Structure 1
Amino acid sequence: MARRAVLFDLGGVLFGPGLQPFLGSCERDCALPRNFLWKVMSAGGSNSPYAKVMRGQITLSQLFSEMEEGCRQHATASGVTLPPTFSVAQAFEEMAAKGTVNAPLLQAAKVLRRNGFKTCVLTNNWVDDSAGRLFTATLMNLLHRHFDLVIESCRLGMQKPDPKIYTYALDALQAKPQEVILLDDIGENLKPAQEMGMATVLVRDTETVLKELEELSGIQLLTQQEPLPTACDPTNVTHGYVPIRHGVQLHFVEMGQGPVVCLCHGFPESWLSWRFQIPALVDAGFRVIALEMKGYGESTAPPDIKEYSQEQICKTPSPQGIPQTVLIGHDWGGALVWNMALFYPERVRAVASLNTPYRPADPSVDIVERMKSIPTFDYQFYFQEPGVAEAELEKDIGRTLKALIRSTRQEDRLPVTSEFHRVQERGGLLVGLPENPPASQILHGPELQYYIQRFQKSGFRYGPLNWYRNMRPNWHWALSAKDRKITMPALMVTAGKDKVLHPNMSKGMEEWVSQYSPSPAQPWLCS
């Protein structure tokens, strides 16, 4: 029977060093006899402080209180002197501070999940009401994003090695024992799983564990390339709205805690374009807000073309009333974040753009004539006449998105690719492309359906295409700041295979951006 699920313990497997190694280290630091702390924790068997906290009968702070008293009694009985500064609570806080996530095993879990395995954290854990509980919240938030299930003993009233918790996990995974692999650093916790028919791995060192897991799963883990970050699910993020004025609002999603990063997408996209970056930035310690730009999806789409000028869009209030953010934009979102940095620097902590370079407005050449001289911008002139491009793009939204949002990999290319020059001459952006193209490697399945639903709601005219219909208003507004410089930290990420915004268009940006860092694109940034 093929294996299709993997259970990971937390302490000592996904997060180290684990409880017993920590207790041993604490005993050495405090000059206590070996197993002193464990004897206190486990005294009383099924009614011990350890058993009660794992079953959720007491909280972590109550465990500290019971252990403090137990340590004093045990020290007196055994003739041991406790250090004057001895503190169980402080010791546990130090364990949290010193512990680290096992990155290779977390990566292995991501790879397994991408290959169709269900992944679950099955842990003897406690209800953390201590002073340092923010650490626990952060760790659990990470686990819930990267695993299909997180099962904690303290939520169920039963703990490993009680066979009932393994039965619960199997039912939750809808899996048979022979389909499951369990990783744990305590042999006693593996025995009931083995007796039930699960494959088990005793965790001692990471490389050996990966080898065993690779053999049992049949999935290559040791030489696996870095996988894409886990994508966020629209149903598992917080949704909100920014009121602009009566009847007009922007939709956004939010995740994480820490300094604020605001993500601005381009055409023809959605906030879901950032589905890989959102969890990665959250894991890096940021609070992420991904906007659905004006005219897209659930954001309001006013009919007036002037509503989509850069000047008007930059006037949008900050989400959640946040006074200052790091702004990151792609495509039209890239143009927006540069303009925010230029015109509203007090609201921008740092700025980054993917694909879209910053260039100051040139007063010597009319912007329309300038763009007409660049063949790859021909499609933007096809977009100018209201009603023309939207009729083509809205005829079959699924076809439009599958044709336009594709990777540059050879196996993902269509027999005839979309060209951005001579669009007006051909009579359309999609002319010559297959009527029913296959889904692309970077937008398929539920994500493609989500995009289709978004554009069925918003269409292309009142929003997506109107962003292109403000060439001269955008130019005139930019001219008012042509001699200014962008002074906050700035990053420009170029994409070598972009057909329109070539990397060489970013040359010379350092003249106008004081704290400028250029960077070639990483593959996951371009997806």
Structure 2
Amino acid sequence: MASKKAVLFNLWGVVVSPRPAETFLKFEETHKLPSGFLEKLVTNEDSAMQRAERGKLSLSQMIPELDAECVSAASDQKVSLPAGFSVKSLLEELRDSTTVNKHILQTVATLRRQGLLTGVLANQWVDDSGCGDSSGRLLSLLGGHFDVVLQSCRTGLRVPEADLFISALKQLGVPPKQVHAHTHTHTHNLTCHHFSLVRSKNARISMEGKFQLKTHYQRRDITIEGYCHRRDITIEEILP
């Protein structure tokens, strides 16, 4: 019997656009903040945004904490924040500008017809703002197109943590297989198996585009082999 194969898609920048980093940059330019000010702040694993993505804070709880982090970082870096500054408008822009890439959904439909399993890995927080209908509609749409949708706020795990991939594999029923890969862009401790991860809209598909994540799971090493694909990925680049 042929082994099951799966293709996992990163939500941001692949299934939906734009990537949060693009929205952050636009916000920084609008408010005359140093480039990378917000990106550096939110990528700290103890930041309010990452805690919200792990389900430890809701959106309404995240906003004041993230505001306070911005004020503290601005003070440390001697950056002037505009009067009445709040990340609330940034997060609203991120929500309102999110667009589903329909050609990715078409690609997914073709993959599933070819017998491949598909999943989405999403770094997201719980939207309790009262304007969360868009989040609900997005989840409903994804659930209708993919075999599994894993949200970080529900699992407590974020992309690119190994346990999130392992959870996806278990839900899809795809057994791990020892495969070692190398990358020139990632040096994570990762392990890979029999699936592709569509994670980047810009990276070219190539042997050098693989990444390797090694982790110890249930007393054995699991290797997760991922291929970085462009957002304009073609079926021929995924199918064996």
Cα deviation, 1:129-167, whole Å, max 9, x if unaligned, reads: 124311111111111111111111111112222211111
Gaps of 5+ in 1: 219-527
Look up the equivalent residue of 2:194 and give its one-letter code.
Answer: E
Aligned residue among 179, 185, 202 for 2:228: 202
CA distance in 1 between counterparts of 2:24 and 2:85 reads 13
CA distance in 2 between counterparts of 1:142 and 1:154 reads 18
Residue aligning to 2:188:
none
CA distance in 2 between counterparts of 1:176 and 1:106 reads 25
Aligned residue among 195, 200, 206 for 1:180: 195
Residue aligning to 1:477:
none
**How far off is 1:85 after superposition?**
4.8
* Alpha carbons 1:3, 1:181 under 8 Å: kept: no
CA distance in 2 between counterparts of 1:158 and 1:32 reads 30
**How far off is 1:58 after superposition?**
0.9
**How far off is 1:191 after superposition?**
3.5
| Cα RMSD after superposing both structures | 2.5
Look up the equivalent residue of 2:231 and give its one-letter code.
Answer: T
Residue aligning to 1:94:
93
The 1:190–1:125 alpha-carbon spacing in structure 2 relative to 1, beyond 3 Å, is farther
Matched position secondary structure for 1:206? coil
Residue aligning to 2:21:
20
* Alpha carbons 1:166, 1:193 under 8 Å: kept: no
Residue aligning to 1:217:
239
CA distance in 2 between counterparts of 1:51 and 1:157 reads 10
**How far off is 1:196 after superposition?**
4.2
The 1:110–1:85 alpha-carbon spacing in structure 2 relative to 1, beyond 3 Å, is farther
CA distance in 2 between counterparts of 1:113 and 1:85 reads 49
The 1:142–1:94 alpha-carbon spacing in structure 2 relative to 1, beyond 3 Å, is same
CA distance in 2 between counterparts of 1:63 and 1:196 reads 34
Say if 2:213 is the partner of 1:192.
Answer: yes
The 1:104–1:48 alpha-carbon spacing in structure 2 relative to 1, beyond 3 Å, is same
Look up the equivalent residue of 1:106 and give its one-letter code.
Answer: L
TM-score normalised by length of structure 2: 0.78
CA distance in 1 between counterparts of 2:125 and 2:214 reads 22
Matched position secondary structure for 1:66? helix
* More helix, by proportion: 1
* Alpha carbons 2:212, 2:224 under 8 Å: kept: no
Look up the equivalent residue of 1:90 and give its one-letter code.
Answer: S
Matched position secondary structure for 1:20? helix
The 1:68–1:190 alpha-carbon spacing in structure 2 relative to 1, beyond 3 Å, is farther
Residues 42-441 of structure 1 mapped to structure 2, 5 A cutoff = 42-43=43-44, 45=45, 47-177=46-176, 178-185=193-200, 191-192=212-213, 196-203=222-229, 205-207=230-232, 209-210=233-234, 214-218=236-240
Cα deviation, 1:377-404, whole Å, max 9, x if unaligned, reads: xxxxxxxxxxxxxxxxxxxxxxxxxxxx
**Aligned-pair identity (%):** 32
Matched position secondary structure for 1:154? helix
Which protein shows a greater Rg? 1
The 1:10–1:185 alpha-carbon spacing in structure 2 relative to 1, beyond 3 Å, is same
TM-score normalised by length of structure 1: 0.37
* Alpha carbons 2:23, 2:93 under 8 Å: kept: no
